[in-house]
Amino acid sequence: MATIKEIAKLAETSISSVSRVLNSSGYVSEPVRKRIQKVLDETGYRPNALAKALHSKRSQTIGVILPKINATSSGDNIAGIDQYFANNGYSIILGNTNHSIKSELEFLDLFAEKQVDGIILIATTITSEHKEKIRKVGKPVVVMGQSTTDGTPCVLFDEVTAVEEIIDYLVASQHRNIALIGVSESDVSVGVKRKQGYLNSLEKHGLPISADMMVNGEFSVESGYTACQELYEERMQRPDAIFAANDKMAIGAITYLLEHSFKVPEDVSVCGVGGGNMSRYYNPKITSLVYDFEESGKTSAHLLHMLIEKPDLDLTDHVSFIPYHLEVRDSTAPKLS
C-alpha cells in the first residue's frame, strides 16, 4: 500500500495537504482536494485507524445498545446504523440487553469507559436513571424508539396515529369486536402508545371498550399464540378481528386460529406492526403497519454524527418521525354478514 509521502508525490502536493484531507481538518483548495482524492481512490489507500484516532482524539467507534439482537427490527436498525457509519469511517460496537433496563444502564457506563465517540440507545423505556446516566456519560447520545423528556434527541414512529389508522381500517371493514394483543406498559412506545391508538379509534367510532378484548404478549410468536388462546378460551367475547402490537404475535395468533378450525381472514381478520419479510411471506400474508426500521437507523446515525462533528450543535428536544404506511395483505378482509 502506498504511503502518505507517495500519495503526496502522485497528487503533486504536500504531505500536510494529504494529511488534512485524510483527517478532514484544515483548509485545502478544492482542485488540490480533488487531485488527492483521485489518487486515494486509484491506490485504494486506507489510513491507519489507530493513527487517525490519535490525531483526531477520537476512537472512530460508536456504541449501539439494543434490546434484542435477534429481533427483526433490531437487525434492520443495525443495518441502517452500520451502513451510515461505515461510509463515514466509523465502526460500531453492539450491546445486547435482552430487554433488561439494568443492562441498558450498564452499557451506557461501559461504552463511555471504552471511549466511544457517541452512543445510540434503542431503549426499552426511559427512566429517571436513564436520564441521569445519559447526563453523566459525557458523550453524544441519540435515543431510538422511545420519547425523552430530558432533551436527548430521539427518533420515533408516530405510534398512536399509526395504530389509529389500522384500527380505523378494521372498523371500515365492518369489524366491531376488535381485540388487542399488546405488551407490558413498561415499554412506552409499544405497550402504552400502540394501546392508546387502539383505544382512540374505538372511542372515535363509538365502539365499546372492554378489558375482555385486551391481552398482553411478550413480542414472540409463542406469546401471540398463548394470548389468542386466552381470548378465545377464557374470555366472554370472541373477537372478529385482532390487532397484534407486532407481526410475530400476529403470526402466533393466526397459528392458534388455524389450528382451531378458524379461517383467516374469513372468520377472523388479523393484523400487526412491522411489515418485514416475516409478515410478507407468511401464509396468509399479514396486513401490517410497515415501519422502515433501517431508515430509522440511518436517521439516528446521521443525528449522532452531527453531534460528534459539531459539539456546539443544539439538538435539545429534537424529534425525528420516520414515515410508515399501512399495507393491506391477505390476513384481513371485510366482515362477512
The DSSP symbol for 235 reads S
Contact 219, 244 (CB under 8 A): no
* Structural domain 56-157+293-322, CATH architecture: 3-Layer(aba) Sandwich (3.40)
The pLDDT of residue 151 is above 70: yes
Alpha carbon distance 294, 83 (integer Å): 9
Q: Do domains 56-157+293-322 and 159-292 have the same CATH topology?
A: yes
| pLDDT tens digits along 288-334 | 999 999 999 999 999 999 999 998 999 999 999 999 999 999 999 99
Percent of the chain scoring above 70 in pLDDT: 95
Provide mean pLDDT across the span 236-240.
93
The residues facing 289 across adjacent strands are 273, 326
Angle at 293 between CA 289 and CA 296, to 5 degrees: 120
Mean pLDDT lowest among 24-33, 242-251, 252-261: 24-33
Strands 241-244 and 324-327: unpaired
Is the domain spanning 159-292 CATH 3.40.50.2300? The answer is yes
| pLDDT tens digits along 191-210 | 999 999 999 999 999 999 99
Name the residue among 175, 176, 173 with its Cα closest to residue 208. 176
Q: Give the pLDDT band (50/70/90) at residue 16.
A: confident
Provide mean pLDDT across the span 128-138.
92
What does pLDDT average to over the chain? 92
| pLDDT tens digits along 276-295 | 999 999 999 999 999 999 99
Between helix 247-259 and helix 221-233 the angle, nearest 10°, is 50
The full DSSP string for 156-214 is E--HHHHHHHHHHHHHHTT---EEEEE--TTSIIIIIIHHHHHHHHHHHTT----GGGE
The pLDDT of residue 52 is above 90: no
Query: Does the reported pTM lie above 0.75?
Result: yes
The pLDDT of residue 53 is above 60: no
Domain limits of the chain?
1-30, 56-157+293-322, 159-292
Q: Return the higher-pLDDT residue of 167 and 98.
A: 167
Q: Cell triple for residue 204?
A: 372515535
Q: Specify the amino acid at residue 118.
A: G
Name the residue among 137, 147, 12, 120 with its Cα closest to residue 65. 120
Name the residue among 79, 75, 81, 49 with its Cα closest to residue 63. 81
Contact 146, 125 (CB under 8 A): yes
Strands 241-244 and 91-96: unpaired
- C-alpha dist (Å) from residue 73 to 33, 70, 320: 40, 9, 17
